Amino acid sequence: LLPSINRHYKCVYYHIVSRLEAEERLSQADTQSGTFLIRESESRPGSCSLSLNFRGSILHYLLYNHNNTYCISDQVKFNSLNELLQYYMLIADYLPCTLTVPVFKPVNRLIERDERWEIEKSSIRVMNCTDIREFGEIFMGYWHNKGSVLIKTNITADITQERFLKEANILKKLNYESIICLYGVCTKEYPFYIVTELMNHGNLKKHLSRYSFAPAELIYITAQVVNGMIYLGEQYYIHCDLRAANILVGEYNTVKIANFHFAQHLNGNKYWIIEERTKLAIRWTAPEWHTLNRLGIKSDVWSFGILLWELVTKGNLPYPGMTNVEVVEAVPQGYRMIIPEDCPEPFQQLMVNCWEQNDDERPRFEDIFETLVKHKNSFI
């Protein structure tokens, strides 16, 4: 039955229920508009249907599967069920509302819990979805203990529950002003929630496209990131995904490093030896990933140089005009991006230094911080 839907989605999303049973499950008193489930279609066996609660009414949509593409409307087609769900969680389009939270099947898997961090899901109100990433969906929400919060879920993330919670377990160990603050987790039922502080202006990449930073603001933001990276290094962690999209912006240009899904503890080693088939952000990751199959603290320094480039270009995609394959081939051979016009000092030289091929020749984050402080007057 539906062999193209992988086991993860069958386990978590897929309900072997009738249309009537789906309506009963979606009609519970506490079910919000946009809640959905996926089931086998009764009218077309072998296909599946999306059942959706919209303002108390239960609506049903056949998910067409033509030549390994999925769609509700012929005008918008997707290569996978996952992509279809992600799209309709952000855009209503053909549907009367965006999808919010699915009705999950119970899964017989034990998750080790730390009751000190456990939050009752009933105390959390999930609101609009603001972003969808490989490691989970980001929602605005409200928790009575803290007010507005950020909620990461694992609704369409094609990862195990344990891997999803790895980020929360790392954040439990980190407590610093430049690192996103973990409030708690909800792990007693699916979907799991990771609840953190809310940074009102979202991620830095999007904020760069909406707001023009003065030079003094740029160095203030940069210094905060470097401060956080110094702390991570002192804790023997490497972030492995340092980029503008993973920096969150709050009031008065306060920024915090977030999204620790790839972060690794070095356990006394200089390098993390990368497992085969590990998928990292190609345009931000240091070349030793490909040449030596390893990453270390100085690899985060390389990524920081790419982040500087993003800051100066207002969030442009690094290596413009190049494919990921071209980047992988060119960078280990010495190719570097052109320093943008009107790039302020000391950003110009910092980019050059951060992109040294030999990681030992790159500056330490402590050195970068001293350089920023030394040049701060030129930004005022």
pLDDT tens-digit series, residues 16-37: 778 888 898 898 867 888 988 8
Asked whether residue 79 falls in the same domain as residue 129, the answer is: no
Whole-angstrom distance, CA of residue 45 vs CA of residue 184: 42
Other CB atoms within 10 A of residue 64 CB: 15
Specify the range with the lowest mean pLDDT, choosing from 96-110, 191-205, 342-356, 363-377. Answer: 96-110
Domain count of the fold of the chain: 3
| CB-based burial label for 339 (10 Å; 0-12, 13-18, 19+) | middle
HSE toward the beta carbon, residue 104, CA cutoff 13 A: 18
If asked whether residues 323 and 219 sit together in one domain, one would say yes
Per DSSP, the three-state class of 106 is coil
- Residues 240 and 343 placed together within one structural domain of the fold: yes
Mean pLDDT along residues 218-226: 95
The answer to whether residues 176 and 310 belong to one domain is: no
List CB contacts of 185: < 8 A, sequence separation 6 or more: 117, 118, 119, 165, 168, 192, 193, 194, 195
DSSP letter assigned to residue 360: G
How many C-beta neighbours within 10 Å does residue 127 have?
Answer: 14
Most confident of 187-201, 205-219, 230-244: 230-244
pLDDT at residue number 130: 84
Instruction: Please tell me which residue in 114, 241, 342, 359 is annotated as part of the active site.
Output: 241
Residue 211 and residue 193 share a domain: no
Name the residue range of residue 36's domain: 7-90
Taking the C-alpha atoms of residue 378 and residue 77, their distance in angstroms, rounded to an integer, is 51
Q: Within this chain, do residues 226 and 278 fall inside the same structural domain, yes or no?
A: yes
241 is catalytic: yes
Residues 266, 370 share a domain: yes
pTM for the structure as a whole: 0.78
The amino acid that residue 364 corresponds to is: R
Q: Give the residue from 166, 197, 228 where a domain finishes.
A: 197
CA-wise closest residue to 139 among 166, 121, 116, 112: 121
Residue where the block lists tokens 């969906």: 137
The set of residues, in sequence order, having a beta carbon less than 8 Å from that of 364 and lying 6+ positions away, is: 298, 301
pLDDT for 2: 33
The reported pLDDT for the residue numbered 289 is 96
Note whether 206 and 248 are within 8 A (CB).
no
pLDDT tens for 177-195 read 999 999 999 988 777 899 9
Considering only CA atoms, which of 139, 163, 166, 161 is closest in space to residue 150? Answer: 139
Residue 254 covered by a domain: yes
Q: What is the dihedral of CA 207, 209, 210, 212, to 10 degrees?
A: 90
Measured between alpha carbons, how far is 369 from 14 in angstroms, rounded to an integer? 50
Encoded tokens for 328: 């992988």
- Do 188 and 329 fall into the same domain? no
Q: What is the mean pLDDT of the chain?
A: 88
What's the CA gap between 142 and 123, in Å, rounded?
8
Cβ atoms < 10 Å from Cβ of 337: 18
